[in-house]
Structures are given as structure tokens and as C-alpha cells.
A and B are shown apart, each in its own frame.
Chain A
């Protein structure tokens, strides 16, 4: 085909395009790509959060049942059942409060951390590898950072909801005497994120599933749950294992929760240290997660 003919053909195509566009103009028109891009740049993370929450809604009933059922079971077994043995000795070991009041914040925080451990592992693998759900929005105006942030926002909503239900049950058991107890909902959410975000960065770096997540649950989450001053004060443990608690978001979160729910007394500096530790893990986790998402979806 000569250049001239080709050009003529192209011009014709363009014309027919415009003609077709004009006649077939449907009643509904999407806003322009420029508007799409501007909106996505501004709100993209929330758009993706909306998607994740819609998917969660599909198993919303499970989330609510888990949120209610778990505290009820634990509070009965530990706070009421086991407490009958523990409380007959002396409440001195638990700072003068009943065993139920002592473990309630710990259970609240642990539940949030365990939920975060689930939400920031398997769904991330699903996004990159199994069903590749991240690659749909990746082709839209959303950016990899926004996809990561959207998922975090959605899980934060779940953690808040679950912790609020949990706290409601705790309050019904009369296990949060302080008027500030409700604030442990926020602490539980923060603790969940501080454990979950570094884990999310790790999950985003995994290319092959070799059962890493099961290992994380067994060898990280479970020991943290048991040795973070959850069921007994951390200082009753020998020094050799006490470091587990010091590095554990569950311990830092639990201590904060105790301060809020029954006025547990500790040096104010330590309280601040708990908060800083949790926030720092969130920040580091977010930076690493962002880097992984951009690397994996940008190249």
C-alpha cells in the first residue's frame, strides 16, 4: 500500500469513528478519562478498600460470629472457668484485679492480631498469585500503592468492627471497669496493624507458596499469644524468654489495654514506649509493603 492510500484510509477511519461516535452516542456517558484519573489519584485507595469490603461482606456473617463467639468462649473458659482456681489464691499477682479483668484486654488484643495475621497473608497471596485479583485494578487508574493502602483501610475497618464487638462482650462480662476501656478498641486495631503490616510486606515478597503462612501462625503468632503477658504477667517469666514479650505487639498492646480498661499502673514513659513501638512497626511495615507492591506491579 502506498503512503498516500494509507493516509487516506486512516483519515477515513478517523472520520467514520467520529461519525459513529456521534450517532451512537448513548444516553449514559461516563465522565471523561481526565476526570477518572483525577478522581482515582485522589480517592483511589478508598475505591479499592470498597472492593475489599464488598468481598468481606460475602463472609460478613462469619466475621460477626467470630467477633462475638470467640470472646464469649474465651471469657467463659479462662475468665470464669479458670478464674475460679486462680482467684482463690490471691489477686495480688494480677495487680489486685480479678483474673477476668486481667486477661480481657489481652484476649481483645490477641484476637485483633490473629485476624490481622490472616487478613494480611492469604489475601495478599491471592492478589499476586492465586487468583491474581490485584491485576484487575492494576490495569485501572489505581496505582500499586493505592491497592496496598486500600486493602489496609479495609482490614482496619474489619479490625475496628471486630474489636468493638469484642469490647462490647467484655463490657457485658463486667471486665472493663474503667470509663476509658472503650479506647482499647483503638489499641487493638493499632496492635493488629503493627503486627499485620510487616507481615503484609513479607507476604507480598513471596513468589511460591511453600506453606510459609502456616509456619508464621505456628511459630510466630502462637508463641507471641502465649508468652506476651497474656495469661500471666510477663515478669513472672524467666528473663531468658521475657524478650519474646518485649518484641511482641501483643504485649505492648495488652499493657496499653490494661492501662485503659482497669487503670493498671506503670511508669508513664513505658506507656508511651508501648505506643511508639506499635506506631513504629506500622510505619516500617507500610514503607516495606509499599516498596514490595510497587516493585512487583511496576516492573
Chain B
């Protein structure tokens, strides 16, 4: 088998000095299963050190995109480059650069916690003299030191997730792929996990993550693409997306399920935009309190009212007419 090819020391596509170095570049990336396009011609570039998110509902094509980036699923068409390498041509070389946290944990339940890290490191040909101290360091990082000798099936969901992240770091990757990293975790476990991911970001690790949680995307991502039905709906930082596609504040009104649908006409003209959902009415306005006063002035009495800041949820609703989490 051919030895690995030498590659330019600078990652990414050929670029002039001073231009950003992209660790990942996708152009018109497409994946079809039969007639269904799971990923339908998406393009994006990720510079080194960025936390880049793919936000979208289940079935949007996020995981499929991650599998193509991760070099475990061949694309149907388009171009994809990871550290200047084509994952379909140089699978092992591309995967050697990455750390991967899959959507479903696939730890070795029959092995002890620490052995999971050692075994995984061996897949990269790393020697035990490196792996033993590294495993201890990563257990410390994942707050699992006192569980080192436990069997994996004795761990909680959050601990398993942290172990999976620790495992993905065993080869000291500069790019970390995280597919729905906190799905199924309780709020406390999620916050611990976010904290760990922040630290990695501080160390300059490029994070690519998919999520359908808007708070996660807002907290972790420098920049994100909103994906729906295999296509990119919008791209930008969380703040710029909110600025562009929503108002500063949102007034949420509940009139009861019967009345929500019909009250729309009476609210006409308040705020910039009105969105009627089955359980509530959303009024998009720069000043939510002022909008609420106007509602009262018109003699309308909602059962509950709430003024909040706009979020990515509102961006998604605006772009697709649907909620992120069904």
C-alpha cells in the first residue's frame, strides 16, 4: 500500500500569505440515497480555531454532512477538503487528523474506562509510553479520574459522553467533530460538557458541531449555518443571524388554543411581524414592553404574556416557518 503522501505544511486550499487558512472546505457537497438528497449542494469553509455549528432540525442532513467530513461516508458529488485532503481518497489520513464524538456513544462497554482510551489510542499507532500518561491527563480533563477503573456500563449518560470526548482527544486532534454532543443529557451535565468544550476552544482546537438546540449553538458557535432539508438557509454568527432575521425582542402571548388563531387580526400593526403558532402568538418588536402596552391598550387580555430577547429559534422559525424541536 502506498505510503502517505507528503502534503504542504500549511493546511487548506492554496491561499496567499495572510489569507485565512481553511481546515475544511466544502463546495456543492451532495449526498443522495437513491432519489432522496440528504445533503443537497451545501458550501462552507471553516478556518482553523473556529467553533462552527450546523443548526437544524432532525433529518436536516447535519449528521450526513458530519459523516462525510469524518471520512466515513462517500459524497455523491461536489468537493470536500479536510486539511487539504480529499476524505474519499485519503480516508485514513483525514481521519488521523480528527477527533470524533458520534451522536450515539459507541464505547467499549466491556472494557474499563481508562482502557477505552488506551485501546482507542492504539488505532492511531500511538505507543503505550505516550498513551498511559495521556489517558490519565484526559480522565482528569473529563472529571473521570476516580472512575478510571470502573466498567463503562456503570457510568451515567453525562459521564459516558465526557468519556467519549476524552477518547476523541487521545490523538491530540486539531479538529474535533461533535454530532449532537449534549442530546439526551440533563441541564447540569450539559453545562459541564459545554465548559469542557470551551476549554478546547481556548486551546485553539477547531470545533465542528451539529445541534438542534439553539442555546447550545448560541453558547458555543462563533459562526453557524442553519440547515433545513439538506440546504443552507442562512450563515453567520449567532448575533448577526438574530439581527438579520429577527427583531431585538419578542412578545409571546397566549390567549388559549381556541382564540390564538383568530386574535391575529386584532393584533395587526403591533410590532414588526406577527407569527401565529398553535399554542401562542409571537409579536416581533424592537421594544417588547411597548408592544405589550399596545396590546393592553387595544383591550386584549392574554392569559399569559412574556417579553424575551430574540433567539436562533426565532431565526429558524422565520427561515422555515417551523420550530427547531418538534
- Contact between chains at A30 and B171 (CB < 8 Å): yes
A55 to chain B, nearest CB (A): 5
B125 close to chain A: CB less than 8 A? yes
- Contact between chains at A139 and B100 (CB < 8 Å): yes
Q: How many residues does chain A have at the interface if contact means C-beta atoms less than 8 Å apart?
A: 53
- Contact between chains at B109 and A131 (CB < 8 Å): yes
Give the distance in Å from the alpha carbon of A135 to the alpha carbon of B70 in the complex: 12
Also in contact, A139 and B102, with CB within 8 A (given A14-B20, A55-B111): yes
B307 to chain A, nearest CB (A): 28
Interface size bracket, B side: 35 or more
Also in contact, A40 and B96, with CB within 8 A (given A20-B204, A50-B119): yes
Give the distance in Å from the alpha carbon of A66 to the alpha carbon of B168 in the complex: 37
A211 close to chain B: CB less than 8 A? no
Also in contact, A47 and B96, with CB within 8 A (given A132-B106, A139-B102): no
A44 close to chain B: CB less than 8 A? yes
Also in contact, A142 and B123, with CB within 8 A (given A1-B240, A33-B93, A42-B1): yes
Give the distance in Å from the alpha carbon of A30 to the alpha carbon of B102 in the complex: 22
Chain A's closest residue to B168 (CB) is A139
Grouping DSSP codes into helix (H, G, I), strand (E, B) and loop, the A interface class, with mixed when no group exceeds half, is helix
Give the distance in Å from the alpha carbon of A104 to the alpha carbon of B2 in the complex: 47
- Contact between chains at B48 and A11 (CB < 8 Å): no
A137 close to chain B: CB less than 8 A? yes
- Contact between chains at A39 and B1 (CB < 8 Å): no
Give the distance in Å from the alpha carbon of A33 to the alpha carbon of B85 in the complex: 12
Taking a contact as CB atoms closer than 8 A, the residue among A17, A132, A140, A297 that contacts B95 in the complex is: A140
Also in contact, A140 and B48, with CB within 8 A (given A40-B92, A297-B72): no
Taking a contact as CB atoms closer than 8 A, the residue among A18, A39, A131, A143 that contacts B91 in the complex is: A143
- Contact between chains at B202 and A20 (CB < 8 Å): yes
5 A-B contacts (beta carbon < 8 Å):
A30-B124, A36-B171, A50-B122, A139-B98, A141-B96
Contacts from A to B (Cβ < 8 Å): 1, 7, 10-11, 13-14, 16-21, 24, 26, 28-31, 33-44, 47-48, 50-51, 54-55, 58, 131-143, 297-299
What 10 A-B pairs come out closest when comparing CB atoms? A39-B125, A10-B20, A17-B49, A17-B204, A140-B123, A33-B96, A36-B96, A139-B100, A141-B92, A37-B96
